[in-house]
């Protein structure tokens, strides 16, 4: 089995041995846990987004924007009714408030969230605290509390597989501090990164983020933050401030 060197030891990382997931290599080589993450041999399938696929923004209670926000993709709201800030914000897509497609998308978001939250396998990796500076390879990652990207940038490395899937389960909040970035390497794509956030997600000023963010509560983008992916809040709202959100 391959080994992969981490860029930092700021996050506590360990391999969790759980039953009920088939592995390609049942006898992994021993590793030095001090500064090494084992490449996961369990291949994760994509999380079906179904009716959410066309949405860049999807919220439950409200969507608000200030400044020169640009959203590429549909913007949906259900069951709330308040969408503000477009214009001056620009929506390169369709605004859907409590129509059939928005209502179905919220149902499909619940299904996608539960799918991601329910994934488990024997070589799942546990993360905690600040994961800035790490490089994550394809597979399933779990945090039993909150996660932050604060001390450095985060990289997803698909190891040459453009279909590689990354799922990050977060029990509580996700925070990206100002100026921090998520990078893609080795063929990784934002469309195949799934962030299941147990409470709310907050993106600091000028931060650059990648992936499908599925938050139980709210999502907040501070001034100048950008997202390649989707911002989807199940019960709360999505708040923007001069941001660029591009559906992937």
Q: Which residues contact 124 (CB under 8 A, 6 or more apart)?
A: 15, 16, 18, 21, 40, 42, 139, 140, 141, 142
Residue 25 domain flag:
no
| Predicted local distance difference test score (pLDDT) of residue 31 | 28
Total domain count for the chain?
Answer: 1
Residue 39 domain flag:
no
**DSSP string for 29-80:** PP--TTSEEEPP-SPPPPPP-GGGTTEEEEESSEEEEESS-EEESEEEESS-
Asked if 23 and 41 touch (Cβ cutoff 8 Å), the reply is yes
Written as tens digits, the pLDDT of the chain (248 aa) is 444 444 443 344 443 333 334 444 443 333 233 334 679 999 999 999 999 999 999 999 999 999 999 999 999 999 999 999 999 999 999 999 999 999 999 999 999 999 999 999 999 999 999 999 999 999 999 999 999 999 999 999 999 999 999 999 999 999 999 999 999 999 999 999 999 999 999 999 999 999 999 999 999 999 999 999 999 999 999 999 999 999 99
Residue 43 domain flag:
no
| Predicted local distance difference test score (pLDDT) of residue 26 | 40
Residue 45 domain flag:
no
Paired tokens of 192:
């195949």
Residue 33 domain flag:
no
3-state helix/strand/coil string of 73-121: CEEEECCCCEEECCCCCEEECCEEECCHHHHHHHHHHHHHHHHHHHCCC
Domain that holds residue 125: 3-16+54-246
Residue 94 domain flag:
yes
Please report, to the nearest 10 degrees, the dihedral formed by the alpha carbons of residues 205, 207, 208, 210 taken in order: -100
Q: Which pTM value belongs to this model? A: 0.86
Residue located via tokens 């080795």: 186
| Predicted local distance difference test score (pLDDT) of residue 37 | 61
Residue 22 domain flag:
no
Residue 29 domain flag:
no
């Amino acid at each position: 089995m391959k080994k992969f060197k981490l860029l930092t030891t700021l996050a506590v990382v360990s391999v969790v041995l759980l039953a009920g997931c088939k592995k390609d290599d049942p006898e992994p080589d021993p590793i030095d846990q001090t500064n090494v993450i084992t490449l996961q041999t369990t291949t994760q399938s994509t999380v079906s987004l179904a009716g959410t696929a066309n949405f860049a923004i999807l919220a439950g209670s409200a969507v608000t924007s200030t400044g020169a926000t640009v959203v590429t993709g549909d913007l949906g709201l259900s069951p709330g009714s308040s969408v503000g800030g477009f214009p001056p914000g620009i929506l390169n897509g369709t605004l859907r408030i409590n129509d059939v497609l928005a209502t179905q998308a919220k149902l499909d978001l619940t299904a996608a969230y539960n799918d991601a939250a329910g994934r488990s396998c024997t070589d799942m990796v546990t993360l905690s605290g600040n994961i800035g500076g790490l490089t994550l390879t394809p597979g399933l990652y779990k945090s039993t509390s909150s996660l932050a990207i604060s001390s450095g940038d985060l990289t997803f490395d698909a190891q040459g597989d453009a279909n590689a899937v990354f799922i990050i389960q977060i029990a509580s909040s996700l925070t990206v501090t100002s100026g921090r970035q998520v990078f893609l390497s080795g063929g990784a794509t934002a469309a195949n990164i799934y962030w299941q956030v147990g409470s709310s997600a907050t993106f600091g000023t000028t931060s650059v983020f990648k992936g499908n963010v599925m938050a139980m509560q709210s999502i907040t983008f501070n001034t100048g933050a950008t997202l390649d992916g989707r911002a989807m809040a199940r019960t709360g709202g999505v708040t923007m401030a001069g941001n660029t959100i591009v559906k992937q």
